[in-house]
Chain A
Amino acid sequence: MSALTRRRLVLGTAGFGAAGLVGGCDPGAPQLRPNPYGLSDWLTFAGQRLLLARQPLAREFGPEAISAVFPTINTTDPDDPAYRRSKAAGFSDWRLPVTGLVARPGAFSLAELKAMPARTQITLHSCEQGWSAIGQWTGVPLAQVLAAAGMRPEARYVVIRTVDGWWDSYDLFDALHPQTILAYGMNGADLPVAHGAPVRLRVERQLGYKSLKYLSSIEAVDRVDGIGHGRGSMVAGLGFSWYAGI
């Protein structure tokens, strides 16, 4: 599984390096806006893909650095009947469907995710509003889940949706990065509801709004221009950059 992950990681990296640099019909970030901001988005995206070509990890801290208070914004307790029922049952009935371009579509329970190889990381969360906080996150790398579902070679993006109606997409460069995890633990305990229980995403090399809370589904796709506003994420439809490495 790890060999497969590494191979896919290399493929994803090479594909994006080439696409990002050559430009042309596939600029690598297909969600480019048809205005001058598309140009600056592309410069930032291509520039950072060059800088990150060797897939460095974001900084990690020791436990002493964990923030006493980690702010919560947007949804802090989803007002959704199914979610409330699931929460009352300790998320024992919660399932995470993994569909799309995968050989073995299916759904993972919380227990199944917890049984997979885990990663714990203490990282700095940077919000587009300007605040930052340090938290410890424990979860299963997204690459493990995608490998378990048998992601097919045509897949180029992973679309993630949430209970509260958010959705976002990630190219394989970020989706298969070792620090991109489906986190079910925070600061040594179960992930609190206010922080996205039972499972949230962590994408450590982009702003906080890419680290979705309250995950409801994962889908591997070959393109994202047909989804929503066609800009690759819900917030991109509101005018925020799809790529948030800034």
Chain B
Amino acid sequence: MMIETTGRPFSRVRHPAWVRLTHWTGAAATLALMVSGTAILLALPKLFWGETGSNSAPAWITLPLPVDLEQTGWARNLHFLAAWIFVLNGAAYLALALLRGHLRQRLLPAPAEIKPRALAGEIRDHLRLRGGAPPTGRYNALQKIAYLGVLLVLAPLILLTGLTMSPGVTAAWPELFTLFGGRQSARTIHFLSAFAMVAFLAIHIWQVLANRPVALMRGMILGRAGNAEETR
């Protein structure tokens, strides 16, 4: 029960229950964060750098969104509830992934995989939309890099820039302001990193749909993945 995959043929590879549970919990929380985050943004669809920014000050970017001041009530409630779920769920996933060897065995690319030539080959294949099983039979290198990037860079960045917008947290940890260059800078980076998350999700979902959506969905829901690990 310790290690899910070692030595088994692909047809027996399963997503363990804790991966499926945290995957879908995280997916639901992320969807709620995207919807509510956009609704909050409508109150001031402009981005600024530094400490201050408002309709009375020049913006770095004015987003092509309608202004709506009436959505922040429900949206903030949902955003912070979903944020707690996202953070607690993500922390549980990270802890289990470390303890169970998941991070090292499934997500950490092998040295041969990230040699420039191997990576260039994969990128070329992806750009030509050419499928094909990755040599390891599990996640391919680009997939591993994307997952690790979301887990270790993007999600923490979204969390920390979110906390930098909290007047309570920053009273205790003013270093957050120094780290991101001010409250409005944190807000801008929060938006940009959330946008990057949306881009990741778009590719992630497209890859599921473009490969074998039924088998892949069944794998992430029931665990019976077939050779789902071949997904690109």
Contacts and interface: CB of A to CB of B under 8 A. Distances in A.
Interface of A: 36-37, 39-41, 43-44, 48, 51-52, 56-59, 65, 67-71, 124, 126-134, 204-207, 238-241, 245-246
Contact of A245 (B52, B84, B169, B187): B169
A71 B55 contact: yes
B80 A59 contact: no
Interface in B69-109: 69, 72-74, 76-77, 80-81, 83-84
A205 B173 CA distance: 12
Given A48-B169, A129-B43, A133-B52, A239 B74 contact: yes
Contacts of B55: 71, 131
6 contacts: A40-B84, A48-B166, A124-B183, A129-B69, A131-B55, A133-B52
A67 B56 CA distance: 10
Contact of B166 (A36, A43, A68, A245): A245
B91 to A, nearest CB: 13
Interface residues of B, number: 35
Interface string B23-60: 00000000000000000110110000001111111000
Contacts of A69: 54, 56-57
B219 to A, nearest CB: 30
Interface of B: 40-41, 43-44, 51-57, 69, 72-74, 76-77, 80-81, 83-84, 165-174, 177, 183-184, 187
Given A36-B81, A69-B56, A71-B54, A130 B168 contact: no
Given A52-B171, A246-B80, 8 more contacts: A36-B81, A39-B84, A65-B51, A129-B43, A132-B52, A132-B53, A204-B167, A238-B73
A41 B167 CA distance: 15
